[in-house]
Amino acid sequence: MSAAFERGTNGDLSRRSLLGLAGGMACALAADRAHAQPGTIRFGLTPVFLTNDLELLDAFRAYLESETGYQVELITRRTYQEVTALLVSGQLDAAWICGYPFVRYRNELELVAVPQWHGKPLYQSYLIVSEEREASSLADLQDDIHAFSDPDSNSGYLVTRALLFEKGLNPDYFFRRTIYTYGHRNVIRAVASGLAQSGSVDGYVWEVMRDIEPELVAGTRPLRKSEWLGFPPVATNKSLAGSDRIAALSGALLTIPEKEQGRRVLEMLKLTGFTSSGPEIFDGIASKVAMLRGVL
C-alpha cells in the first residue's frame, strides 16, 4: 500500500486531475479550517466517478451547501485507499466510495445514500477489449496486459478477480501483466490506445463516457458485463452517522431530484437520484469478498 502513496506523491501532475491538484489544495485549505469551523462538511470523492469535471464539482458543492446550510469541502484523492482511509479514520464526514471498501469496512461505516442509475442503485462491471479485437470470452484474454482501475475498486478489480478465481485462475499468471491506472477513464484510455489489451472498468462510467467522449470509448467494446451490483454509495463513519451534518447531507442527497440545482447536478452525473437503500444491495459484492477471503 505504500506504493499507492508513492504514486500519489509523484503522479499528481496528471492533466486529468488538475482536479487532483485542486482537490489537494482544497484538502490543504480544509486541514486549516476543519476544526476551526465545525459547520463544515468534509465530503470525500473517489476517482470512481467522473471527478475530472471541475464544473460538476462546483455545482455539486454549491447544491450541498445551499441544501445543508453547511460549508462543504470536497476532498479528492488519487486512490480509493486514501479516501477510504480518511473516512475510516474519521477525517472525513462522508465520502462517495466504492461498494468494495464499504463491504470491507462494513463495521466502521454507515450508508448515507446510494445513487440511482436509471432508477436503480445498481451498476455492472465491464470487461473491455479494443474495438477491433476478436475476443469473445475471458479465456481469450490469456497473456494480455490487463488494466485494472484500482485494487480497491469493485468494478475495476474485484469483479474480474473473482471471476478468475471462480475459474481457478490467478490474474498474476493468467495475464502477462496487470497494471493499475487509478481511474476508470484511464482503463478506457489504456485499452483504446493499445497499451493494455483488456481492462476492467465501471460499466456506469463506460456508458456515461460513451456520451461524453464518444471517440475515446469507441476504441473499446465490452466483452463481458457482470451481474448487477450495488452502486458505489455515499458512506459515513459510523461514529458520525447520527450527527446533524450527516442527517442534513442525507436529506440533501435524497431530495436532489426535486431541486432545480440538484437536477442540474444529476444531469451532469447522468444519475436519476439517490436512495436510502439498506446495505443488502451490496450482498453481491460481499459474497465476492467472502469468496476471495484469504486470497487477497
Size of the site for another protein (CB under 8 A): 21
Q: Does 13 bind another protein (CB under 8 A)?
A: yes
Interface residue with another protein among 8, 14, 53, 270 (CB under 8 A) is 14
Q: Whose Cβ is closer to another protein: residue 155's or residue 277's?
A: 155
Q: Does 257 bind another protein (CB under 8 A)?
A: no
Interface residue with another protein among 22, 179, 212, 248 (CB under 8 A) is 179
Q: Whose Cβ is closer to another protein: residue 10's or residue 107's?
A: 10
Instruction: Select the span of 27-35, 40-48, 49-57, 189-197 touching another protein (CB under 8 A).
Output: 189-197
Q: Does 147 bind another protein (CB under 8 A)?
A: yes
Q: Which residues contact 146 (CB under 8 A, 6 or more apart)?
A: 160, 171, 175, 177, 178, 179, 196, 197, 198, 199, 200
Q: Does 213 bind another protein (CB under 8 A)?
A: no
Q: Does 194 bind another protein (CB under 8 A)?
A: yes
Q: Does 6 bind another protein (CB under 8 A)?
A: yes
Q: Does 129 bind another protein (CB under 8 A)?
A: no
Q: Does 81 bind another protein (CB under 8 A)?
A: no
Interface residue with another protein among 51, 153, 154, 186 (CB under 8 A) is 186
- CA pair distance 112, 94, nearest whole angstrom: 8
Interface residue with another protein among 176, 242, 255, 290 (CB under 8 A) is 176
Interface residue with another protein among 79, 116, 154, 181 (CB under 8 A) is 181
Q: What is the 3-state secondary structure (H, E, C) of the chain?
A: CHHHHHHHHHCCCCHHHHHHHHHHHHHHHHHHHCCCCCCEEEEEECCCCCCCCHHHHHHHHHHHHHHHCCEEEEEECCCHHHHHHHHHCCCCCEEECCHHHHHHCCCCEEEEEEEEECCECEECEEEEEECCCCCCCHHHHCCCEEEECCCCCHHHHHHHHHHHHHCCCCHHHHCCEEEECCCHHHHHHHHHHCCCCEEEEEHHHHHHHHHHCHHHHCCEEEEEECCCEECCCEEEEHHHCCCHHHHHHHHHHHCHHHCHHHHHHHHHHCCCEEECCCHHHHHHHHHHHHHHCCCC
Closest distance of CB 78 from another protein, Å? 11
Closest distance of CB 19 from another protein, Å? 14
Q: Whose Cβ is closer to another protein: residue 186's or residue 277's?
A: 186
- CA pair distance 224, 138, nearest whole angstrom: 8
Closest distance of CB 177 from another protein, Å? 6
Closest distance of CB 124 from another protein, Å? 23
Positions touching another protein (CB under 8 A) are: 3, 6-7, 10-11, 13-15, 145, 147, 176-177, 179-181, 186, 190, 193-196
